[in-house]
Structure 1
Amino acid sequence: MVYLDNTATTPMTPAVIEAMTAVMTDNFGNPSSIHVYGRKASQALRTSRQTIAHALKTEVRRIIFTSGGTEANNTALKGYALANQDKGKHIITTAIEHPSVLEPLHYLQEKFGFEVTYLRPEKGSITLSSLQKALRDDTILVSFMHANNETGDLLPIEEAAALLKTHQAAFHVDAVQTMGKLPIYPEEIGIDLLSATAHKFHGPKGVGFLYAAPLHFDSLLHGGEQEENRRASTENLVSIVGMAQALADSQLQLKENLTYIRGLRDTFLEALAPDSYYLNGSSQHLPHVINLGFPGQNNGILLTQLDLAGFAVSTGSACTAGTVDPSHVLASLYGHDSVRLQESIRISLSKLNTQSELLQLAKKLKEITGK
């Protein structure tokens, strides 16, 4: 089986599994306990936090461990909005965000009367000018994803951060798809809140983190005093250690991996007949994601044929799997009536994929489509 759905999740590397196994077999203490077992666990927790902070070029106390990207996004959006609504109740985001951003914002609209502006793509991209037009005096929060999970499109986060430096609005970035793949340093850019999750960069599922600048936001979980009273619950030490290992490994070969992935993408597209497919999204994209359509080919049937042939790909976000709704991202880009919504598939790459696998996929697609 050839796995090419890395945007949904990535396999853990041997080094990550080894690091987690060492904790499971030799470090079972609660990091909040004061005896020797607790101190040993606390040291592992501190080391992991230092590793992640170093990767982001920030201070350790700005890293808050969470159960994943969804919790990090919810904490950033609901926590900041509810704690700062006296400054205004207007929020700006984009129509192509992940459900873990869109749904919390819908919740804030329905339950607390916030007003949310959803920026739509202009000529295939989210533009800085649309953000400029949407900004108001009562805007308190702007949330952009770094790269779209369905098309790989990169959003103008550096430009947005520069624009917001003179505005009261806090800037949140969902970096779930780019952490460990592209360099992203929140303080250098001007990001106030940043979300990430381990299983997108070869770490375990069920753990992530929120980078938070020193600003006021409400906690979602109340109870113990973990994470400096910002996130109650005993820390998932085994997974946190695995996440830190995965991010450290990714950071060591960031440039090399990016060059390698670009090569895989080029190899695959060059192996297809030029007139047999079209690409979705903009020219500014994360090379790990290839969203393409084959005219006249139903994507549901195509996915089944590829699955039976031993290739794991998808039609879009794994968080909407099992539904029959078309992609809201492609609908925002091309319209709800576009045939692309029924023809497009997503192939997503990682450093563990090989050129041979991509050539095999191209060959099978030629056989299926007859081109």
Structure 2
Amino acid sequence: MRALTGRHNGWLVVVAAAGVCLLTPGTAMAGWGPGGESNGDTTETSGGQSGSDIVSMVRYSGSATGSSGGSSSKGNVTPVGDWTPPACWYEPRTAADFQKYVESMYTETVNTPGQHSYAKTAVGQFRETYKDGEYKNYNLDEADEGTWWVAVQDPDRWMEPAAQLCNEMPFWVVNGDTPNVPNAITPNVLAELAYNRLRLPETEVTLAPEDTTKVNLPTWAWLDKAKFKAVDVTAQINVGGLNIQATTTAKPIALKLEPGTKDAETYPASGACEINVDGSIGEAYAKGKADKTPSCGVKYLRSSGDGGFALRATVTWEITWTGTGGAGGDLPDGAFGNDQAVTVQEIQSVNR
């Protein structure tokens, strides 16, 4: 028995194997969505139940967690390449929680005014499977021996095809066994989910001259080591007999400068400034360096006129993870950057 799920304006669409299209308010069938809010730089979220809606039981904490509505000074890391964190996954529920969910969903559906009879029939059949059908009373008599595993979608990506791949109906797994489905929660999957929670600081480089520079004048650029430190997120789940975690860490390794115009040169020529031994990037300008070439910077070859050029500074972050049982490894590098305005003026000459 399978279901394909998707959300639209607070409704969940369930397409069952029988070909029935069911619309029910809230969360239904396999539509279990993660929740949690950001509170400053350290966030911890946990699963729970509100009516018939059960959110993800994965909890996040660390120095770089948050939500899309977080501080404007932080942003999501973008993977380098075509890899993306999971858009859906499977995680466990205790027999009692699963029973509460199904019964709440059933009650809500059958008692919703105007609900179509086929919707009530479909949700009734779903309930029957786990209550008095293929399974008996939600396996409550075996509650100490295993858990129900359910599909979860990333609520920000539910329309993506990848979010529809976790289409198995809830299934029973004996404690200690590994579910035979892709993206079942493991330390590695937790690390990938934590990757999606990394929030990185703005990439605003220090410039000399600051804000306004001159044509053909090398502009020095650098990032102080104190502003760019490693950040991390820990993802953990503790349900039934499963208690695992993983910590994903992002470390800055390079800065890429894009002048915002083709009429410019970068230092080095590639625009990629490597990180220094002390953790800084580039070299701070100081008196006496006017005749030197910056290790990291840009030289504009024409004026920006009445406006300015959008200098884009992007930091590349090396991302690794460690997890329960000594597991660990590398994840794809990430990047995060933003633009800052630079005004470029012609050098004024005086005729005598």
Is the TM-score greater than 0.5?
no
Shorter-chain TM band = under 0.3
Structure having the larger proportion of residues in strand: 2
Scaled by the length of structure 1, what TM-score is found? 0.23
The structure whose Rg is larger is 2
Scaled by the length of structure 2, what TM-score is found? 0.24
Structure having the larger proportion of residues in helix: 1
